[in-house]
Amino acid sequence: MVIGLVLILISAACNNDRPEPAEADVPSAGLRVRVTRVATHPFLSRYRLTLHVEGPHGCTDTAELFPDTGYAGRRNVYEQASGAITLLGQYDARVVDRTNCTIRLVEFQSLVGQSKFLGAFDVDAQKRWQFFPASVRPERPFEKH
């Protein structure tokens, strides 16, 4: 009986390695953006993050993001004045070209200028991975260490 209870408690504390996709449509850019999170450790908060974009006319691109190595998985999503979409994380920044659906890694310093916060990929209170539009959750800047 005690062993069964211990096994249930351990399995509840374990991370599931099942992919957790979260999607956001960006109608102004004609893009669908998906960030999928997959646990890489059974007990610690360690996740692999993959960005996938789908654009007009069926173009797609995929890129591995900087992994979440302990509560650093959130990605803020912005639309630049140029129409490009930016995903900004604690340790990396990606720009999505909406015309060609290309994803490129950029330096943080290159992101100066006007942008509109669209939302964030993050976990909710129950630790479920999802997209929060700006209308649901205001922008939360990243802490600089």
In order along its 145 residues, the chain shows pLDDT tens digits of: 545 433 343 344 466 779 999 999 999 889 999 999 999 998 888 999 999 999 988 899 999 999 998 888 999 999 998 889 999 999 999 999 988 889 999 987 667 678 999 999 999 999 999 999 999 999 998 876 5
Give the predicted TM-score (pTM) of the model.
0.85
Q: How many Cβ atoms from other residues are within 10 Å of residue 3's Cβ?
A: 7
Question: What pairs with residue 104 in β-bridges?
Answer: 95
pLDDT score, position 108: 76
Strand order of the β-sheet with 115-123 is 102-105, 93-97, 85-88, 75-80, 115-123, 129-133
pLDDT score, position 7: 37
